[in-house]
A and B are shown apart, each in its own frame.
Chain A
Amino acid sequence: MATSDTTTTKPMIVFDNVEKRFGANVILAALNFTVEPGEHVTLIGPSGSGKTTILRLLMTLEKVDAGTIRVGGAYLSHMEKGGRLVPADEKHCRTVRKRIGMVFQQFNLFPNMTVRGNLIEGPTRVLGLPKDEANARAAELLELVGLKEKIDAHPTQLSGGQQQRVAIARALAMRPEVLLLDEVTSALDPELVAGVLSLLRDIGDTTDLTILCVTHEMGFARDFSHRVMMLDGGRVVEDAPPSQLFSEPREQRTRDFLRAVLDRR
């Protein structure tokens, strides 16, 4: 009922004049962009540019102040009621949100559960999967992220890199269509970053997930993304394939940012 089929080609994500403020502070100003199914889009930009807010809006961790967001053709921020668009209620959010998974900077594994518990929680409680099926899926995903032997460990017994791998597996266990990666390597020790990034590359190569990624790893952004969006002050400054954006950025703002980021290394 909530799905609206107005266009013939169906983008996976549509931001339509999205506005987000925190008090008087405008984070996103009339933001427009679309992401096609299977596309990997990386968001770069200085802190406060609204990158993470975009992911949080998609995960319904924040609400839009104006404009609409659609995911897979369905309104996420709103729902249709009596022919009008009204802000989405919790129940509506939950249905659309099931198509989206998110991995956080701080992992956010549930410390009161084992790795297995973390992995089967969503599938059993939300998708209604029988326990043995959820367990099988958990084992499969742990194999994928290289932590098969940690299934009965507690998150606190794992390194940051291992925790983040479990968090990635937890997000995938929900079989989402869209995966949001919010600075997933920023909290990791430097020597653990490469492993997590190569896991993400594998996942990107072997699945048809639509991936939206906020990262400071420019090398990863370059070879992982189909498109890079440079944000500044809540606006898209430049939107181009990585080969172009990193090699010959058109905008001065992008050049300044890239120089600052690359100088830091």
Chain B
Amino acid sequence: MPLWDWDYAFGILPDLLRALVTTIEITLLASAVALVLGLLIAIVRRTRIPVVDQLVWALVEFIRSTPLLVQIFFLFFVLPHFGITLSALVVGVLALGVHYATYTSEVYRAGIEAVPPGQWEAATALSLPRTRTWTGVILPQAIPRVLPALGNYVISMFKEVPLLLAIGVVEVVNAAREIGSVTFRFVEPYTIAGILFLLLSYPASMLVRRLERCRGDV
């Protein structure tokens, strides 16, 4: 038997591609959570409301200091004891999204701090309402600067989706594992799985690098 069987490889490709679609879906949904929640965390921390600020800080530190896998297990296996049962897919999106929100919030924070204090002062001098200062002045300057960094986190999330095989989500690596455990041929499924990740991650990171180079004019 050859190490690499092309017929077999093409035979399993549709299953792996289907799993890749699931992986991309989870990445996109989790990214939406991470990008929105991270921004909210950054804004709450910046406004420095007592108690709320400390609570958010503690939560962020806690999430950052524990492994993502533990968080996934916790949401999937422990929450049901408290009457909250979430599907594996929902757990995947939430766990990845919330975990990465703690990182994107730092990215946003850096972007917000890079906006000169004079911009806040000019907004105050015009008596702009707080929300308008954020949406009209600060964020439009802060976010373009940090898009590359945010993009890198989205790529990282994409590559972390296979962690969800621990709770039975059929993403690419899990699909490869299942195929292999039936056929006892692992070379093709795992190789194809790796290549699929490479085919998406690499162009994506090239895109981020281009973004990095042309962001100078913000």
Contact = CB atoms under 8 A, between A and B. Distances in A.
A60 B125 CA distance: 8
Interface string B126-146: 111110100011001100000
Contact of A121 (B116, B118, B128, B130): B128
A126 B126 CA distance: 8
Contact of A98 (B119, B127, B141, B218): B127
A108 B115 CA distance: 11
B124 interface: yes
Interface in B26-64: none
Contact of A104 (B118, B130, B132, B136): B118
A28 interface: no
A220 interface: no
A171 B125 contact: yes
A125 interface: yes
A109 interface: yes
A195 interface: no
A78 interface: no
Interface in A133-190: 156, 170-171, 174
Nearest to A126: B127
A9 interface: no
Contact of B126 (A61, A112, A122, A156): A122
Contacts of B217: 156
By size class, the interface of chain B is 10 to 19
Contacts, number: 61
A129 to B, nearest CB: 13
B23 to A, nearest CB: 35
Nearest to A117: B136
A126 B123 CA distance: 11
Contacts of B125: 59, 61, 97, 100-102, 104, 171
B124 A59 contact: yes
A126 B129 contact: yes
Interface string A99-139: 01110101011111100000001100110000000000000
Contacts of B114: none
B128 A61 contact: no
Interface in B56-112: none
A110 B129 contact: no
A125 B128 contact: yes
24 contacts: A59-B125, A94-B127, A97-B125, A101-B125, A102-B121, A106-B118, A108-B122, A110-B122, A110-B136, A110-B137, A110-B141, A111-B141, A111-B218, A112-B137, A112-B140, A112-B141, A113-B136, A121-B136, A122-B126, A122-B128, A170-B126, A171-B125, A174-B126, A174-B127
Question: Which 7 A-B residue pairs are closest in the complex by CB-CB distance?
Answer: A108-B122, A122-B126, A108-B118, A112-B140, A102-B125, A126-B127, A106-B118
